[in-house]
Chain A
């Protein structure tokens, strides 16, 4: 780095760090991801946690004493259902209510199929686990009775079960939690963009708007040195944002009950280093593109608008990846943004990758950086850019 770029860099960073409000904005943004992550994880874990006793309000308890005894034996806490149980279920304050009709005992004694009702609201994610547990208990009771009746008639219960379905559920808690974890690469990449946004707007569009670009360019410093210095200041903020995000995730993951959800995700120091190695080269490229875009903008506000739009770029592939992780292919690593998101995701899942994907992703970012900086330096020798467009 030439001494001139360093002078520009030092001035821009000092100038920016004195603007407390915009520094805070740049550095608060990255914290959104980890906070959302923590809240969602704790919520998920509380839904799925098994050690909680199953509370089951019952209507018509007196009609089915042996069923009630069975349920209590298997850990259900039975209670009388309130009058307005339907609206409470809809509101979410009750998960499920068991209704035993008046004719239950009659049908039961006669050996017919007796009906009970499980009142639920299937659109409630949070009730799913309780409903599932209640239904399993009721089915187990039905099966036990059925078996007894068959035995009593000298028939093996197996005859009544020609096919037994063994469910191997790959979805549910693990999958949902993994989906949340897949947001981590996306937020890391967004941080690479969010961190430098304020500086990038200020160093070019802001500089021209306040009329200090013309005097600045009167110095005998080459345009490339000026652009490099301004870019470096942006990079520092972008890297700070990425590192803050990463550290925040590490801290949050320790406090989140990942085990309860059976999630396998690596968030130890080597994984964090791997993710940093994946995303940090993008901070260079994102900052360079931001400085370039900012050079085009007529004003600070306009620059901010453009740069906010630019932040949508990482969101598109990031969302797709978070919802349905792709099988990584080599070409993906060469696409800036997509490459980093795939790479960080693979590191997080603990997949062995080797150095090549990192090198490809890093090289493509550096190429984009050099290109953007060169174009920006050329722009600064154009009169319509220096003096603003009429």
Chain B
């Protein structure tokens, strides 16, 4: 479970990236962080996964404070960050193994875990190829494999389907549903409404660094009095800029 509590972050004196963001993402639920570009989604995610220190507020990952005990919080998190660069001279399997080792796995446990992941992500055929020249879809799979190698209870994904084709998008969705069915807490950010609508049990709409709406898709429709989600979003954000694809 992830709880964000009044997260606030400024860069320099002028730019306020995140004004005040609070929400709770439950286990066994896919929570979507939806907002136009520049709304503060990535900064919020970075504060959740401990690489950016909030100026005010904090977040708890399974009860662990990300500001006080970042290293412990990272143990409970699996993250597909904004930057998902790979090592071109290492194979897909070596990527997963490296990250597994950094999470303290070794020996037979690590081998078994990596094999499971390669099956889960359907990447047996590319497992022992160097990642140089991989397609976007294959690259995301490798990034997923290394993010999930330690079996995290909480999974954070920053725009996971960005730049993917239809088939790859579908397999990412399948994976997220599966993680949810396993009882994990899944949070992903997106600026694409359809993406969020197709996948999320709960939607947190972020605009100008604040949470402007938070609830199930049905609750959102009801509260805005609009029939379609699309119009509900436009009503909550006040503009449709950057939301449509």
Contact = CB atoms under 8 A, between A and B. Distances in A.
Contacts of A4: 101-102, 104
Contacts of A212: 83, 85-87
Interface stretch (B47-55, B188-196, B234-242): B47-55
A15 B130 CA distance: 11
B102 A386 contact: no
Interface in B34-52: 49-52
Contact of B102 (A14, A19, A207, A220): A220
A7 B50 CA distance: 22
Given A15-B87, A15-B89, A18-B89, A220 B143 contact: no
A18 B147 CA distance: 24
A15 B49 CA distance: 27
B93 interface: no
B99 interface: yes
> For B50, B51, B71, B102, which residue has the most chain A Cβ atoms within 10 angstroms?
B102
B171 to A, nearest CB: 20
B84 A211 contact: yes
Contacts of A215: 79, 81, 83-85, 99, 143, 146-147
A220 B103 contact: yes
A218 B89 contact: no
Contacts of B71: 220, 222
B117 interface: no
A14 B83 contact: no
A218 B74 contact: yes
Contacts of A383: 51-53
B83 A213 contact: yes
Nearest to A207: B85
| A interface: dominant SS | helix
Contacts of A210: 85-88
Contacts of B111: none
A243 B89 CA distance: 27
A292 B82 CA distance: 25
Contacts of B83: 211-215
A4 B100 CA distance: 10
Contact of B77 (A216, A217, A218, A222): A218
Contacts, number: 76
Contacts of B72: 220
DSSP class of B's interface residues: helix, strand, loop or mixed? loop
Nearest to A222: B71
Contacts of A335: none
A7 B90 CA distance: 14
Contacts of A11: 87, 90, 94, 98
B75 interface: yes
A219 B84 contact: no
Interface in A166-217: 207, 210-217
B86 A221 contact: no
Select the residue from A210, A211, A215, A216 with max chain B CB neighbours within 10 A. A215
A272 interface: no
B74 A386 contact: no
Contacts of A220: 71-72, 74-75, 102-104
A8 interface: yes
B121 to A, nearest CB: 16
Given A215-B84, A220-B102, A19 B89 contact: yes
Shortest 6 CB-CB contacts between residues of A and residues of B: A211-B85, A211-B83, A212-B85, A219-B102, A7-B101, A210-B85
Given A11-B94, A210-B88, A221-B102, 15 more contacts: A3-B101, A3-B106, A7-B98, A11-B87, A11-B90, A11-B98, A18-B89, A210-B87, A214-B81, A215-B146, A216-B102, A218-B51, A220-B72, A220-B104, A383-B53
Interface of B: 49-53, 71-72, 74-75, 77, 79, 81-90, 94, 98-99, 101-104, 106, 143, 146-147
Interface of A: 3-4, 7-8, 11, 14-15, 18-19, 207, 210-222, 383, 386-387
11 contacts: A3-B104, A14-B94, A211-B85, A215-B83, A215-B143, A215-B146, A219-B103, A220-B72, A220-B74, A383-B51, A387-B51
